[in-house]
Amino acid sequence: MKSVKITHAYGILSAIFIILTLLLLATRGQHFSSLHNLPSASIAVFFLAGMYLRSIKAFWFYYLLTVAIDLGASYMRGQFGDCITTSYPALVLSYGVMFSIGRYVKPMWYETSHLKNFAKVALGLFVASSIAFFISNGSYYVFSGNFSNLSWAEYTSRVDKYYLRSISNPIFYVFVAFVLDFTMNHFFTNKLIAKLRNGKV
C-alpha cells in the first residue's frame, strides 16, 4: 500500500515538473513559440513550483532555464541589451519571492476549509506577484542604465501602465492549477485511498 502511494505521488510530481517546464518554454517572452495569445507564465511557474514541487533544486532548475531561454533568444536576435542588462540578476529575487510564498500557501484540503485555501492562495499570489513586480521593475529602472533621468512622477506613470498586467498574468495559470488540485484531491486521490484501504489496489 505504501509503495503504491509513493509511486502515485512521484507520478504526479513528475507530471507537474514536465507541465511547468513546457509552460515556461512555450510562453517565456514568446521567444520561440507561436502561442502569442498566452500571457507569460514565468512568475506563475515559480509560484506553482513552490506550491507543488517545493524543492530548492526545482527553483534553480527553472531559474537557469529562464536564463538559458533569455540568452538564446537574445543571441538569435543579436540584441542582448534589451533583455540582459545589469539589473538582470535581480530577477532571481523576484522568482525567489514567488517560489517562497508559493511554498507557504500550498492548499491543505484536509486541514482547512475550501474557502480558506482559496483565500490563502489568492492573497499569497497577489502579495508575491506585487513584490516580484517591484523588485524586477524597480531594479530595471535603477540599475539598467537606461533611465538615469527618470523622475518619480514618470516612474509612477510607468508602474500604472505595467503593474496590473504584470500581477494579472499568473492568475489564469494558478487558478487552473488550483481547480485541478481540488479536482484531483476530491475525485481521484480519495478514490485511490479508498481502494488502498479496501485492498483493491
Alpha carbon distances (Å) from 167 to 76, 84, 182, 198: 29, 22, 23, 46
* pLDDT exceeds 80 at position 9: no
Q: What is the pTM of this model?
A: 0.81
Residue 100: partners with Cβ closer than 8 Å, 6 or more residues away: 50, 128
- Name the grid cell of 148: 538615469
How many residues make up the chain in this entry? 201
The residue-averaged pLDDT of 97-122 equals 90
Half-sphere exposure of 83 (CA within 13 A, CB side): 19
Predicted pLDDT at 148: 62
Residue 71 near residue 123 (C-beta atoms within 8 A): no
Neighbour-count burial of 197, counting CB atoms closer than 10 A to its CB (0-12 exposed, 13-18 middle, 19+ buried): exposed
What confidence tier does 56 reach under pLDDT thresholds 50, 70, 90? very high
The beta strand positions in 18-130, using DSSP E, are: none
Q: What is the pLDDT of residues 143-201, one digit of tens each?
A: 655 566 666 666 676 667 778 888 888 999 999 999 888 887 776 655 544 444 444 44
Cell for 42? 514565468
Q: Is the pLDDT of residue 76 over 70?
A: yes
Range in 36-45, 71-80, 107-116, 166-175 the model is least confident about: 71-80
Cα 45 to Cα 59: distance, rounded to the nearest angstrom:
10
Q: Any residues with CB less than 8 A from the CB of 188 and at least 6 apart, and which? A: none
d(CA 61, CA 58): 5
